[in-house]
Structure 1
Amino acid sequence: MNFARYKKFLMVPILLSMGACGGFVDDINVSPNNSSTATPSVLLPNVLAGAGFANNGELNRFGSVLVNYLTGAGGSPSNYDRFSTTGADFGNQWRFDLYGGALINAQKLIEVADASNSKTYTGIAKIMKAYAFSMATDIWGDIPYSQALKGEEFLQPRLDSQEDIYKGNQSEGIQSLFDLVREGLADLEATSALKPTNDDIVYGGNVDNWKRAGNTLLLKLANTISKREPALARQVITEVLQKNMYITSNAQDLNVKFGSNVGSTSAIWNLAIFGSFRNELIMSTRFLNVLRPDAANPAKTDPRLPVFFTKPAADYVTLDNGYVGALPNANTYSRYAPYVTGAQGEGPVRLLTNFQRAFILAESALTLGTPGDPQALYTEGITASMRLAGISDAAITAYLTANPNIATLTGTNEQKLEQIITQKWIAWTGNGLEAWNDWRRTGYPRLTASQNAVGIDGTRPVRAAYITQEIERNPNFPNPGPQSNVKVWWDVD
């Protein structure tokens, strides 16, 4: 789709018109293009781009530093790098990117599309609503969910437990994320009066790809809770495998693409490459040492290294996590390369991917006993990631042949799990939130404390603190709320 048209959609004043959690709805201008008259084709790009922007922006800087893709060289990332985060962080991401952006737009799309019996739109909206809510609960734990997005009906919505959000609670009127996705998939099977075309900036209206994305989201959700609820995770993963309708090629990835013109670029481009915050991030020395464990032996270097990060100097210019001191010339920083940001900021933002699906199934076959060969699926995940990075099959084969310790799962199941998650971490370069989720629930990859760590007990955050404005506004938020060292429900590692 032409992104100039998408920019026009972004101007539709729908983001705050209903109130995300209610309460920050003030001066909204009435317009013939406002939410009461917006059509599904106007709302859909906002839903998709909103989810991509929420995943790709400040929360991504936070996650990418915490899992050591990047080192914080200044500003907020330098605090994250030393494990310091408070309720003063991420207010805009909570209020505007998630609740006042992707989520409220998805809810309005469901309502508008239902009114015209346009089930394809409602199906996509429910899948993306579940994705955005999973982001929020994975980051903060218990959140407004069943009473959220309802405007004046619930100006101070309750917090539903993360367990109820994932599993549902009929007596409390809480639909599980799994059932929300299943409902969306059922809508995609129904007759639809209107169907997306160019307004679908992900798949161009390809409904089969949306079905694959929805089922892959079920795999992701099941994988997230698999340590806490192995039986439920096994049930959901088996259900998806039996349907045999999930992402199986890189061409089917759920990617949100942005534009290359100023004002239409992806969030991480503006934060890490082009904008005024660009010098706050530099490649982590620790990640360089994983991808290039022996600089004297090129066969040991992961071929994705020059695809993931830039090398504007004679060698990669990096910093160790938590470093405090004189900085190198910012013009020589190794930064995210176009694989992550796009050549001019177009991305894509990768939300659900083929390599992710392969690694999830490798892990579940190993730990839950679901169908599949862990080794074959593990190899498939590495191969899918390398192909996505543009690495030739010959180069992939050469690398795996030269590095049998990486190519072959060996040792105990726990050691094999570490290999799977470590390779998944490498593959997720650019999406710090997904890698942070995996680290919290498995303990992999193995990360050591940053230099000069502060925060709470000098420990790496395992959640974000509740937003200060929400604690002050909504008495349903605990005060004080859980701090960054308190695990979320599914984190039992």
Structure 2
Amino acid sequence: MLRTINFIIPALILIIVAGGCKRAYFYNGINEDPSQLHDPTPSSILAGVELASAYNWGGDPSRFASLFMQQTTGAANQSANYSLYNLTPDDVDNMWNAGFYASIMSNTDTLIKIALTDGQLHYAGIGMIMMAVNLGQVTDFWGDVPYTEAFKGLSNTSPKYDSQQQLYDTLQSLLDRAITYLSADDGSEFQPSKSDDLMYEGDLTLWVKFAHSLKAKFYLHTVKVNTSALTNCLAQISSGFAAGEGANITFVGSNAVTTQSPWFQFNDQRADITFDGYLNDLMYAAEDDRYGVYFDTSDSTLLGALYGSESSPVYFMSYDELKFIEAEAQFRNGNKAAAATAYNDAVAANLLRTVDSTDYLANVQKTAANITLQDIMVQKYIALFLSPETWTDWRRTGYPALTAPTGNVLNGALPRSLFYPSSEVRYNTNTPSNTTLTRRVWWDAQ
């Protein structure tokens, strides 16, 4: 957790310096910025990686997914176009460059390499988990993306695009290595702690649980294309998060803009997204107890306090998400009793996380006799408010059953991937040709 401004300032320096490089593939020290960290250590990089990941996760990835999935509505400017799926390669360039590649993944790659060289395997393991978090989101949005040849500076300015199938193997390998490193004594005097680990304050057990939870998530993503996906997914659940656990960063929320949560900053500075539409209508009609904390009931242009305040958290993953993953996997595996139990546990956990009461569970509780995949996915869609994962879930399952808004540019279809960014099209000769936003990624097979 973020507790002091002293944690944030060094981290933000790292973000700003990395973000100043337009392309992660190019930077190798030319035109060196005097504020750049010299001889960086894993400890000096980790906080920046975690904080930048949270800012980014709650930024463009969250906004694009929430607009596509009608959890929010674009009311003006670019956001209004995005609600109608009217976007271009230019619109995703900043998320790719200043977000994922130049700022986060490049620094994470450096963290891992230095930690391995210095024998600080616990830092390396944490870095591998954070790489999996971000690489997983990149490939889920775009499909095939650079990884094995990325982060090489001027030695390779046109890295190849790895196939998404290969990247999913990479994600599992990163997480397996992380679990191995974090589960043993690395013999190093330098260990993650409260001073540099903003998420778990050096609690390696929680990092291992996060890794297992991510493995379950990534296995489930491949259910359409991998016959072992359900078995592999379910095997990870018991080693994942327990009740009340999760992976998130809570922002300090001081008057300094750099300490405020990303959705608050966006609403404060841009305010071209409103919080009405499909999800708002769904929850209002159901008299859902979470409605009043998700939405500002007096003003549709504002988020509720839970996610719209200066100090709101950004969740990479939560216990309730893991239980929804278990519910879906058990349902698809034919065990409806276990699916209903996991589903009820998931809804209860989300209610506790959001409104600190499970009273509403009685309204949506399910049994083996009446549970459906739609029940699981719609409640997960509600629980994961503003999470990019909702778009992945819809593409995999078709739930919730959304209708494209009037005036959309995809002839009634919804987006299934993003355009490759304009800078990649211009500068990387290996970039696949952009087709349409209805292009399916590998795990989204027909």
TM-score (norm 2): 0.92
**2:277 counterpart (277, 285, 296):** 285
Indicate the residue corresponding to 1:50 in structure 2: 52
Indicate the residue corresponding to 1:94 in structure 2: 96
Indicate the residue corresponding to 1:420 in structure 2: 376
Query: What aligned pairs does 1:284-363 form with structure 2 within 5 A after superposition?
Result: 284-293=276-285, 300-312=286-298, 332-341=299-308, 343=309, 345-363=310-328
Please tell me whether the aligned partners of residues 63 and 386 of structure 2 are also in contact (alpha carbons under 8 angstroms): no
Indicate the residue corresponding to 1:373 in structure 2: 338
Structure 1 letter corresponding to 2:372: K
Indicate the residue corresponding to 2:404 in structure 1: 449
Indicate the residue corresponding to 1:83 in structure 2: 85
* CA distance in 2: counterparts of 1:154 and 1:19, whole angstroms: 15
- Residue correspondences, number: 438
Indicate the residue corresponding to 2:221 in structure 1: 224
Any gaps of 5 or more consecutive residues in structure 1? Answer: 168-175, 294-299, 313-331
Query: What aligned pairs does 1:400-411 form with structure 2 within 5 A after superposition?
Result: 400-401=361-362, 403=363, 406-409=364-367
Indicate the residue corresponding to 1:258 in structure 2: 251
**2:192 counterpart (175, 193, 196):** 196
Structure 2 letter corresponding to 1:470: E
In structure 2, relative to structure 1, the CA distance for the partners of 1:477 and 1:239 (3 Å cut) is same
Indicate the residue corresponding to 1:483 in structure 2: 436
The question of 1:248 aligning with 2:242 is answered yes
Please tell me whether the aligned partners of residues 21 and 156 of structure 1 are also in contact (alpha carbons under 8 angstroms): no
* CA distance in 2: counterparts of 1:186 and 1:36, whole angstroms: 30
* CA distance in 1: counterparts of 2:39 and 2:437, whole angstroms: 42
Any gaps of 5 or more consecutive residues in structure 2? Answer: none
- Please state how far the C-alpha of 1:410 moved relative to its aligned partner: 6.9
In structure 2, relative to structure 1, the CA distance for the partners of 1:28 and 1:245 (3 Å cut) is farther
Moved over 4 A (4+): 16-21, 24-28, 369-372, 409-412
Q: Report the 3-state secondary structure (helix = DSSP H, G, I; strand = E; otherwise coil) of the residue aligned with 2:88.
A: coil
Indicate the residue corresponding to 1:180 in structure 2: 174
Q: Report the 3-state secondary structure (helix = DSSP H, G, I; strand = E; otherwise coil) of the residue aligned with 1:90.
A: helix
Please tell me whether the aligned partners of residues 67 and 435 of structure 1 are also in contact (alpha carbons under 8 angstroms): yes
Structure 2 letter corresponding to 1:189: S
Indicate the residue corresponding to 2:108 in structure 1: 106
Structure 2 letter corresponding to 1:490: W
Structure 2 letter corresponding to 1:482: T
The question of 1:472 aligning with 2:426 is answered yes
Aligned residues: percent identity? Answer: 25
**1:208 counterpart (201, 205, 209):** 205
- Please state how far the C-alpha of 1:21 moved relative to its aligned partner: 4.4
CA deviation digits over 1:167-192, x for unaligned, max 9? 3xxxxxxxx21011111111102323
CA deviation digits over 1:309-337, x for unaligned, max 9? 1122xxxxxxxxxxxxxxxxxxx334222
Please tell me whether the aligned partners of residues 20 and 149 of structure 1 are also in contact (alpha carbons under 8 angstroms): no
- Please state how far the C-alpha of 1:8 moved relative to its aligned partner: 2.4
- Please state how far the C-alpha of 1:388 moved relative to its aligned partner: 0.3
